[in-house]
Copies of this chain bind each other. A is one copy, B any other.
Amino acid sequence: MVEYDSALLDRTFGALADPTRRRILAQLAEGEDCVTALAGPHAMSLAAVSKHLIVLEKAGLVKRERRGRVHSLTLEAGPMEEALAWISRYRKFWEGNLDQFEQYLEKLQTKEKNDDCE
C-alpha cells in the first residue's frame, strides 16, 4: 500500500485551492520570475502576492533564489506528483461514469497515443 504524507498533501491541496496561487503557478510554468513581475497581472497589493508566494514556498511548490534585492521564483512541481498519485486512486470512479460520446473520445485518444498511456 502506498503511503501518503498527510501534512504535505494538506499543504499541497491547500495551496492549490486558491485561484491566485494557481495562476502564479501557471505563470511560473512559463519560466522563473521575480515577485513584482508575478504580481503584475493580479488585482491586489504586492504584499498579498508576497504572502501567496510564501504559502507556495512552504508547500514546496515554488523555490526562491535571492539575487540581490530580487527574489527569483521557480516552479517546483514535485509535491504535485504525490497529490496526483493520491487522486489517481479514484480514477475508476469517474471513468465508469463517462457517457457514450466521452467514451468514444476516450477511445480515440487512447488509440492516438497508446504509447504514453498507462
Contacts and interface: CB of A to CB of B under 8 A. Distances in A.
Contact of A17 (B13, B19, B76): B13
Number of copies: 2
Contacts of A86: 16, 22
Contact of A18 (B10, B78, B81, B93): B10
Interface residues of A, number: 30
Interface of A: 6, 9-10, 13-14, 16-19, 22, 25-26, 29, 75-78, 80-81, 83-84, 86-91, 93-94, 97
Given A14-B14, A76-B93, 18 more contacts: A10-B17, A10-B18, A13-B14, A13-B16, A13-B17, A17-B17, A29-B90, A29-B93, A75-B90, A78-B93, A78-B97, A80-B87, A80-B90, A80-B94, A83-B87, A84-B84, A84-B87, A84-B88
